[in-house]
Amino acid sequence: MTHSVLPMPRGDQRLIWAAAAVGVGLAILPFVGSALVVDKLTYLFILIMFATMWNLLAGYAGLVSVGQQAFVGLGGYAMVRMVDAGLPPFPAIFIAALCTGVVAWVLSWFVLRMKAGEFAIATWVIAEAIRAMVSFDPIIQGETGTSVTALNAYAPEMRRLTIYLLALATAALMLWASWKLLQGRTGAQAQAIRDDEEAAASVGISTFQVKQRIYILASIGCAVAGTLWLASAITFQPRTSFGVQWSVFMLFMVLVGGIGTFIGPILGAVLFFALQEIFGDFGAWYLAGVGIVAILFALYLPNGIVGLWLDKGRDEPLSMRKRLQVKE
Amino acid sequence: MVEALIQGILLGGYYAVLAAGLSLMFGVVRFINLAHGDMAVLGAMIALWLVQGLGFGVGWAIMITLPVMAGLGWLMQRMIFERALRGGFLIPILTTIGLGAALQNGMFGLFGSETKSLGAYIGNLSWASWELPGGIFLGQLPVYMFLTAIVVLGALHLMLTRTAFGRAVRATASDADAAALCGIDPRRVHRGAAAIAVALAGLAGIFLALRAQVTPFAGPMLLIFAFEAVVIGGIGSLRGTLIGGIALGVAQTLGGLISPQFSILAGHVVFLAVLGWRMSQVAAADRGGWRSAWTALTTKRKMTRGKA
């Protein structure tokens, strides 16, 4: 009896072509669209990056972190420091994120040895500790924060367009990279660890290395998204950049879209973005509503929007599961 | 220095009350409530509303708030937590983070963002102090709060060890299914535990409102403090929680001697150090402990890897 892996379903292929077409359309859009649309879409791309990265961590590797804001803030801080040292801001966005990856590598030796609940809390406390340490830096001026004034050297239209295209390209790259990663060996290993760590270890997966790889990648991803956000917001404040709200947003988008699915976080990000556009003016009551929606999804629809689709007996779109055909 | 040490110990009583509820929920219900800090703020807000809005005395406000919080805890366990518990590890975290966001922003919408305090309603108690030999001033309010904390935790300890409900709680904590076989209804025990935990959170919130200010968004920080106290002291024992609370309080006041910002960071550092040390203990135990490793090295006996 032999088996072979079935090719990608027809529907998935169409979906990928459609996504590519949307990507090309979005790349042309800033040359015709208004400045407001460009700014909003930049934010949407950043949200998609956050959601994809958190899903990689929690959905595929089972690492439920409440401390990803550590990397959002650290990336921003590294960028502020680099621009202050004379580096041009746009390369600094990416170099800062890579530096954050080094910090994540160091932290991973500590946090990845923890059990689930400890991991969630410890990552949060580490983010708070890093925030406190960053606030000591005189350049940050404590809670006041500082601005990446070097960005003002560029013309506003030029800056807006560059950040938009960078965000679009990075989001596309991140989706492609996580697709490749999850389709490959690491993805299968990570899902095995998520489902049962001891069983995964018993079939020869070096669980620590796989978790470490995903943890560092997700941290760099969050740092890139964070620095891009900082580049569009310009002001760096420790309380905002290291705020736990980043992790809450990531969690909300992934949960509502469908945790552990490839397409879920993207849907979640789009939905969260739409909610913010429609109800954002209600301020605190809007955020309270977001909290209630999160409770309802967690209790009654834990597989999110994609779960609704699956409940009808349909296949998961863009699934990371391999489909095998058995031959007699 | 000595004054800071004494203040830290007294502060520890408040942290212990804050942490006891979290520890109880985790130990008995196996539920990590990430909205615990927000429940504390809610308790403070209810008491503040009773005092400022309806003109109750502070004592009466406390007497009313605590049963209300207990009822709320019972209700939340019944309506939300029980269902969330069926979803494994992830769903409780997601649910309580959502609950926290709803509570914070709901309180912000209802009560506004300005900081509030009960300090103005307790007469001269908020600044009165005793002078100890050596020129050390001891605030009366922190002492009373510390004594209250000891009494409350002591009563809780007695209840857990001496009463029928306490036995049911301990039985459910160690094995809910076996407890059910002995005629205990674990769901009722869980609801009771949740009621106590949320009432404790409310008491901690009132303590905070008495000694400092409260804002609707103070919850997450309180949650972190509670977790730190629980982990430093070790989960599952009230005495440990008290020791953990005192350790956290002392670390913060001693850190505060260097600079106000350093105060909270010192607490974080102690927490991470204790967590790291405890993990290394576990890892060492897995490998047979450093003592056995040392013996193996010195006697040059061959050891098999792993637990064997």
pLDDT digit string (tens) for A50-83?
Answer: 999 999 999 888 899 999 999 999 999 999 999 9
Confidence category of residue A254, pLDDT binned at 50, 70, 90: very high
Question: What ipTM score was computed for the predicted complex, to two decimals?
Answer: 0.85
Confidence category of residue B296, pLDDT binned at 50, 70, 90: low
DSSP 8-class letter at B116? B
Residue among A68, A110, A128 with most chain B CBs within 10 A, to mutate: A128
Does the structure show a pLDDT above 60 at B305?
no
Does the structure show a pLDDT above 50 at A157?
yes
Percent helix, percent strand, percent coil in chain A, to nearest 5: 75, 5, 20
Q: Please provide the DSSP assignment of B164-215 as one string.
A: HHHHHHHHHHH-HHHHHHTT--HHHHHHHHHHHHHHHHHHHHHHHHHHS-B-
Interface of A with B in 89-118 (CB under 8 A): 110, 113-114, 116-118
Please give the residue that has the higher pLDDT: either B126 or B64.
B64
Separation between Cα atoms, residue A300 and residue A310, nearest integer Å = 15
- What is residue B128's three-state secondary structure? coil
Task: Tell me whether residues B97 and A66 touch, CB distance under 8 A.
Answer: yes
Task: Tell me whether residues A121 and B80 touch, CB distance under 8 A.
Answer: no
Does the structure show a pLDDT above 80 at A259?
yes
| 8 Å CB contact between B80 and B16 | no
| Percentage above 90 pLDDT, chain B | 41
Does the structure show a pLDDT above 70 at A182?
yes
pLDDT tens by residue, A187-218? 889 888 888 888 998 888 888 999 999 999 99
- pTM of the predicted model, to two decimals? 0.89
Residue among A253, A259, A276, A295 with most chain B CBs within 10 A, to mutate: A295
pLDDT tens by residue, B87-109? 777 888 889 999 999 999 999 98
Q: Distance from A4 to chain B by nearest Cα, in Å? A: 34
Q: Where are the beta strands (DSSP E) in B42-146?
A: 129-132, 136-139
Separation between Cα atoms, residue B194 and residue A295, nearest integer Å = 18
- pLDDT for B56: 85
Q: Where are the beta strands (DSSP E) in A94-228?
A: 146-147
Task: Tell me whether residues B100 and A291 touch, CB distance under 8 A.
Answer: yes
Does the structure show a pLDDT above 90 at A29?
no
- Nearest residue on chain A to B272, judged by CA atoms? A122
Task: Tell me whether residues A129 and B268 touch, CB distance under 8 A.
Answer: yes
Query: Residue holding tokens 């943890």?
Result: A215
Confidence category of residue B303, pLDDT binned at 50, 70, 90: very low
- pLDDT for B20: 92
Q: Distance from A299 to chain B by nearest Cα, in Å? A: 6
Spell B12-26 as b/e; 16+ CB within 10 A means b: bbbbbbbbbbbbbbb
Name the β-bridge partners of B214. Answer: B116
Separation between Cα atoms, residue A166 and residue A231, nearest integer Å = 11
Q: Which of B147-161, B272-286, B294-308 has the highest mean pLDDT?
A: B147-161
Does the structure show a pLDDT above 90 at B180?
no
| Residue A42, both tokens | 């930049």
Q: Which of B20-24, B83-87, B173-177, B304-308 has the highest mean pLDDT?
A: B20-24
Which of A136, A289, A298 is nearest residue B91 as measured by Cβ atoms? Answer: A298
| Residue B55, both tokens | 């003109």
| Section A140-163 average pLDDT | 83
Does the structure show a pLDDT above 80 at A321?
no
Chain A residues touching residue B265 (CB < 8 angstroms): 129, 132-133
Least confident of B76-80, B234-238, B302-306: B302-306
Q: Distance from B231 to chain A by nearest Cα, in Å? A: 9
Reference A266, options A251, A252, A254; nearest CA is A254
Confidence category of residue B301, pLDDT binned at 50, 70, 90: very low
Residue among B268, B277, B281 with most chain A CBs within 10 A, to mutate: B268
| Residue A52, both tokens | 């994809």
Using a CB–CB cut-off of 8 Å, the residues of B that contact A are 26, 32, 34, 80, 83-84, 87, 89-91, 93-95, 97-106, 108-109, 220, 224, 227-228, 231, 261-262, 264-265, 268-269, 271-272, 275-276, 279, 283
Does the structure show a pLDDT above 60 at A178?
yes
pLDDT tens by residue, A272-308? 999 988 988 888 888 899 899 999 998 998 888 888 8
- pLDDT for B40: 95
Half-sphere exposure of A311 (CA within 13 A, CB side): 10
Q: Distance from A185 to chain B by nearest Cα, in Å? A: 25
- Nearest residue on chain B to A248, judged by CA atoms? B97
Confidence category of residue A328, pLDDT binned at 50, 70, 90: low
Which of B89, B95, B264 is nearest residue A299 as measured by Cβ atoms? Answer: B95
Burial class (CB in 10 A: 0-12, 13-18, 19+), B8: buried
- Nearest residue on chain B to A297, judged by CA atoms? B95
Does the structure show a pLDDT above 80 at B286?
no
- pLDDT for B26: 87
A301 touches chain B (CB under 8 A): no
A141 touches chain B (CB under 8 A): no
- pLDDT for A327: 73
| Section A125-129 average pLDDT | 93
Which of A116, A136, A298 is nearest residue B98 as measured by Cβ atoms? Answer: A298
Does the structure show a pLDDT above 70 at B307?
no
Task: Tell me whether residues B261 and A298 touch, CB distance under 8 A.
Answer: no
- pLDDT for B292: 58
Write down how long chain B is.
Answer: 308
| Section A39-47 average pLDDT | 93
pLDDT tens by residue, B181-210? 888 888 889 999 999 999 999 999 999 998
Does the structure show a pLDDT above 50 at A3?
yes
Please give the residue that has the higher pLDDT: either A314 or A278.
A278
Which of B97, B224, B264 is nearest residue A294 as measured by Cβ atoms? Answer: B97
Chain A residues touching residue B275 (CB < 8 angstroms): 114, 118, 122
Q: What is the 3-state secondary structure (H, E, C) of B228-292?
A: HHHHHHCCCCHHHHHHHHHHHHHHHHHHHHHCHHHHHHHHHHHHHHHHHHHHHHHHHHHCCHHHH
| Section B149-161 average pLDDT | 91
Please give the residue that has the higher pLDDT: either A320 or B245.
B245
| Section B212-230 average pLDDT | 91
- Nearest residue on chain A to B216, judged by CA atoms? A284
| Section B53-80 average pLDDT | 91
Query: Residue holding tokens 């090309």?
Result: A24
Supply the mean pLDDT for chain A: 89
- pLDDT for B294: 60
Please give the residue that has the higher pLDDT: either B232 or B118.
B232
| Residue A291, both tokens | 């909290």
Confidence category of residue B288, pLDDT binned at 50, 70, 90: low
| Residue A177, both tokens | 């990279």
